[in-house]
Amino acid sequence: MKRELTGHVVTRWYRAPELILLEKDYGPAIDMWSVGCIFAELLGMMKESAPTYLDRKPLFPGKSCFPLSPDKHVKEERKGFPFSKNDQLAVIFEVIGTPTEEDKSYVTDAKALEYLEAFPPKGKIDLSTLYPGAGEEALDFLGKILVFNPYFRLSIDEALAHPFFKKVRKSEKEISSTVEI
């Protein structure tokens, strides 16, 4: 039996790039992206990152998401596609940079690849500038989860084994489910 997956999932600010690009085959990596977005918000609550609660904000607060929920008032086009600096992918690329050819290797739709080409090249920012109070391991963890290509993103097991969790993880107390989903 082949599972039929829906294309419009996850709240926009936590939506992984592969969902935005309408990839038909996605898996647990979409949840890891969302974990990264939430982890970034937690790092953003540190006093060094946000002196007051009014300074706190999500990492990727896009206001539209082409093609799922496009900006109806967009005035600019790039390579035939509507462009808005508030579009979810544009907001994501401001932080993680635009994808390389290797990053785009999982994209199966020719139109999605054309869309990605419409974004001007942008480099990845240094996460320590966003989260100055975060330690090296926390920033490394965040950087390995917020990765454009889902196949290069940390898996659940790799995330749990990351040095960031070494001080708090007690693997001998963990119980793994024996039920296959």
**What per-residue confidence (pLDDT) applies to 6?**
55
Task: Report how far residue 95's alpha carbon sits from residue 117's, in angstroms, rounded to the nearest whole number.
Answer: 17
Each residue's pLDDT tens digit, 117-132? 999 999 999 999 999 9
Q: Could you report the per-residue pLDDT of 93-105, keeping only the tens digit for each? A: 999 999 999 999 9
pLDDT for the residue numbered 137:
98
- Give phi and psi for 62, each to the nearest 5: -65, 155
Cβ distance 7 to 26 under 8 Å?
A: no
**What pLDDT is recorded for position 123?**
97
- Look at residue 23 in the predicted model and tell me its pLDDT: 92
User: Which residues neighbour 94 within 8 Å (Cβ) at sequence distance 6 or greater?
Assistant: 122, 125
What is the CATH number assigned to the segment(s) 12-173?
1.10.510.10
Instruction: For residue 8, give the 3-state DSSP assignment.
Output: coil
Residues whose CB falls within 8 Å of the CB of residue 47, separated by 6 or more in sequence, listed in order: 133
Amino acid at 12: R
Coil vs helix vs strand at 53: helix
Average pLDDT of the chain is: 91
Question: CB–CB of 33/153 below 8 Å?
Answer: yes
**Which stretches of the chain drop beneath a pLDDT of 50?**
none
* Predicted TM-score of the model (pTM): 0.88
What is the reported pLDDT for 74? 83
pLDDT at 175: 86
